[in-house]
């Protein structure tokens, strides 16, 4: 009888050990799968960033030939008017430290620093743009400081550290990211409490019907391919903003007078160089994107401690 009990206990122990080993292996496989997925994601992000860098190394002169030093499609005929509007809309003020993420050759950054006593850090993935920015910056009489370096804006946290900036600007550069959720998370970490994230970019339009939806998808695919872009999904961006507890300040179409708006003529001139998505006629044309400004604030309080706070009005930053 004792021998039978010992045998049963031994079998039970072996069975338990077998289950434990199985579960450990399963957990290890899951961890490895996660690490592999993260590694693949980082690899793809790095690879796409390199593609974007190569694209601008090759095409920056073309952009400059058409757009000048402010490489933005949504603009006023006098681009300085739009930059002044950006200063007001993004609430740029003396004494701030600002990150211009995807800064191009430094046209907007140097303009802002010529108007305000601010410290602007510009980040571009293109070595060519860094070199050309030196001429752009030296041509300005600056009240503040502009420093431009080459780097991947997905890595802004490792480049600049946490709680560094009063403002982070994406001025028609956000769409170059294929990891936009990670990018917003990084921006949140780099902002000071009370700091503002300002995104001005194009977002994919919702499908009004199946026929127009197919046209929208086709044009978006052309834009993404031609310009190494990833036109953002507005719903996904807003979900991420809300999950991170950003305070939503405004979402709007940029406010410029109709008679001052450039009406994308320059964009068509540039598209001639790529032979892509040129607007030949407005008749039966389905505009594929919405231009939005998204302005959100990192809470100036610890949401993990003060969970009871809910602001119907904007808090003081």
- Does residue 6 fall inside a structural domain? no
- Does residue 313 fall inside a structural domain? no
pLDDT (tens digit per residue) in 38-47:
343 444 456 8
Q: Is residue 85 very low, low, confident or very high in pLDDT (cuts 50, 70, 90)?
A: very high
Q: What is the pTM of this model?
A: 0.82
**3-class SS letters over the chain:** CHHHHHHHHHHHHHHHHHHHHHHHHHHHHHHHHHHHHHHHHHHHHHHHHHHHHHHHHHHHHHHHHHHCCCCCCCCECCHHHHHHHHHHHCCCCCCCEEEEECCCCCHHHHHHHHHCCCEEEEEECCHHHHHHHHHHHHCCCCCCEEEEEECCHHHHHHHHCCCCEEEEEEECCHHHCCCHHHHHHHHHHHEEEEEEEEEEEEEECCCCCHHHHHHHHHHHHHHHHHHCCCCECHHHHHHHHHHCCCEEEEEECCCCCHHHECCCHHHHHHHHHHCCCCCCCCCCCCCCEEEEEEEEECCCCCCCCCCCCCCCCCCCC
Query: Which of 16-25, 69-78, 128-137 is least confident?
Result: 16-25
pLDDT (tens digit per residue) in 266-282:
556 656 666 555 666 66
- Does residue 196 fall inside a structural domain? yes
pLDDT (tens digit per residue) in 3-19:
544 544 454 544 554 54
Q: What is the pLDDT of residue 40?
A: 37
Q: What is the mean pLDDT of residues 242-255?
A: 93
Q: What is the mean pLDDT of residues 282-298?
A: 88
Query: Which of 40-49, 112-121, 209-218 is least confident?
Result: 40-49
- Does residue 290 fall inside a structural domain? yes
- Per the structure, the complete domain to which residue 109 belongs is given by 65-297
Q: What is the pLDDT of residue 30?
A: 42
Q: How many domains does the chain have?
A: 1
Q: What is the mean pLDDT of residues 55-66?
A: 92
- Does residue 163 fall inside a structural domain? yes
**173, pLDDT greater than 50:** yes
Round the average pLDDT of the chain to a whole number and report it: 84
Question: Residue 127 belongs to a domain with what CATH number?
Answer: 3.40.50.150
């Amino acid at each position: 009888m004792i021998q039978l009990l010992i045998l049963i206990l031994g079998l039970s122990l072996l069975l338990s050990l077998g289950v434990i080993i199985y579960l450990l292996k399963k957990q290890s496989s899951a961890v490895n799968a996660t690490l592999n997925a993260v590694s693949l994601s980082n690899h793809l992000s790095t690879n796409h960033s390199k593609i974007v860098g190569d694209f601008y190394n090759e095409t920056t002169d073309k952009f400059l030939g058409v757009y000048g030093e402010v490489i933005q499609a949504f603009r006023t005929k006098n681009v300085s008017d739009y930059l002044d509007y950006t200063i007001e809309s993004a609430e740029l003020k003396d004494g701030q430290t600002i990150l211009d993420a995807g800064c191009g050759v430094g046209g907007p950054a140097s303009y802002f620093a010529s108007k305000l006593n601010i410290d602007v850090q510009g980040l571009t993935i293109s070595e060519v743009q860094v070199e050309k920015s030196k001429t752009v910056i030296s041509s300005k009489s600056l009240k503040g400081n502009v420093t431009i370096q080459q780097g991947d804006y997905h890595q802004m946290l490792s480049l600049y550290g946490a709680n560094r900036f009063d403002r982070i600007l994406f001025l028609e550069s956000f769409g170059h990211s294929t990891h936009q959720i990670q990018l917003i998370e990084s921006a949140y970490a780099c902002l000071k409490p009370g700091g503002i994230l300002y995104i001005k970019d194009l977002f994919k339009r919702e499908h009004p019907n199946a026929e127009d939806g197919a046209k929208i998808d086709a044009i978006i695919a052309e834009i993404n391919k031609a310009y190494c872009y990833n036109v953002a999904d507005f719903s996904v961006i807003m979900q991420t903003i809300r999950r991170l507890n950003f305070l939503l300040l405004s979402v709007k179409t940029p406010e410029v007078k109709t008679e001052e708006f450039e009406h994308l003529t320059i964009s068509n001139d540039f598209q001639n160089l790529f032979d892509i998505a040129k607007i030949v006629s407005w008749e039966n044309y389905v505009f594929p994107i919405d231009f939005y400004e998204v302005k959100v604030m990192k809470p100036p309080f610890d949401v993990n401690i003060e969970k009871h706070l809910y602001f119907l009005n904007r808090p003081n930053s």
